[in-house]
Amino acid sequence: MSKEYHLKTEFRIESPHGTTGFRIRYKSPDTDNRWKTLSLPEIKLANQLYRDGTVDHEHTKEKLKEILKQQYAIRDKKKKKAPFMTKNIQLVEKLWEDKYTRRRKRNMKRPDESYRDLILAAEAAGMHPLDTCDLEDLEDYLEESLSDDPKKLRRRITWLNSILMWLGRPKISQNHLRIREKVRYLNEDEFKTMLVNIPKEDDRLLARIAFYTGLRLGEIFYLERHHIHRNNVLEVDGQMSDEQHGDGSFKMTSTKTGTSRDIFYPDIIEDDLRKWAAIPFEDRYKIRLRTFARVIRKACETTFGDGDKIKLLNFHCLRHCHAIWLLHKGASIHEVAQQLGNHYEVTYRYYSGFELKKESVERLKRLVD
């Protein structure tokens, strides 16, 4: 992977006078992907002129942008581009001139990050000419080449779609891609072991409810007695946000999706649900101020150490634990999506590899036996 450059507009130089200046930072495999400060004579000179008052802030900033552009050019020259990739880069240059340059002139600035994202998207297409290639083949290629980094895959597709729309071609739908998100989770036995290392009972109560219901933190804080129904049905119709009013209370809103849902709760958690629902909201407001991600993370580190990253959870990861717990019990992806209040595509991205239905187990047993 080539160097990635980032412009830092202003920073404080360590000196007795506390003077200010500019820097360019970069990262690459050579630096273990850690940000380093680029040291060039041109940057030192620009900072010296700025500190002396010879050049003002805006002109110095523009000079640093020119240096940054030069560094991108040096980087790109070192890349070997296949013929179709070169053609895709040419398309990006035309798109940039046609669409973005006019906007830049109007706003009197250049969105360098946009240009960089367009170039990276064109390079991600590999040997597929964007103006003529089969889009299904392109989808398959992207899925195979970037499936280990879902965030990067989605970003590349977003910018590829900008290019495709400019070419008058259909967009790539991310819903068709089999993107697998990396999930941090604990099984039930591991969760019970970790729970012992959470000091406060209120925090343990919240963690148990999250693990066995899959509720979001705000949805748990919203729960009242009338939400708990017979036959293991829990009504979810709102959440307590993290926005606090002047009187110390917190804002109540609809659920994240804006719709209510009925979910399943197991018998093992019913007493905890009723115990939590009995806590007055005045007391819940005080509990809401705590940082629950840190509470769960610290308990995981105490229990499992910091070597196995998949077991270092935050509070939201307890939803992953619940989903995988249900899948291992034989639930389907559709059922888990309904339980969590997520769209099917989102649920599939996270949990498709954990699904093994009862009929699948029985069929595999027949094949093996």
Q: Show me where the domains of the chain are located.
A: 10-76, 86-167, 188-359
260-271 mean pLDDT: 94
Q: Kindly list the distances between the CA atom of residue 185 and the CA atoms of 54, 193, 206, 323, in Å, as whole numbers in the listed order.
A: 57, 13, 17, 10
- Helix H, strand E, coil C: the string for 79-124 is CCCCHHHHHHHHHHHHHHHHHHHHHHHHHCCCCHHHHHHHHHHHHH
Contact partners, residue 364, CB within 8 Å, separation at least 6: none
Rounded Cα distance between 101 and 95, Å, is: 9
Q: Does the structure show a pLDDT above 80 at 16?
A: no
Segment (H or E) for 172: none
Q: Which two tokens stand for residue 197?
A: 């290392």
State the pLDDT at residue 190: 95
| Confidence band, pLDDT 50/70/90 cuts, at residue 196 | very high
Report which listed range, 132-141, 218-227, 247-256, is most confident.
218-227
State the pLDDT at residue 263: 95
- On whether the CB atoms of residues 104 and 111 are closer than 8 A, the answer is yes
Q: Which two tokens stand for residue 287?
A: 């509990």
State the pLDDT at residue 281: 92
Task: Give per-residue pLDDT as tens, 116-174.
Answer: 888 888 888 888 889 888 887 788 778 777 766 777 888 888 899 999 998 999 888 76
Burial of 305 (0-12, 13-18, 19+ CB in 10 A): exposed
Q: Kindly list the distances between the CA atom of residue 56 and the CA atoms of 11, 18, 47, in Å, as whole numbers in the listed order.
A: 15, 18, 10
State the pLDDT at residue 209: 97
Is the full-model pTM beyond 0.75?
no
188-359: CATH topology: hpI Integrase; Chain A (1.10.443)
Q: Which three-class secondary structure state does DSSP give residue 355?
A: coil
Rounded Cα distance between 207 and 196, Å, is: 11
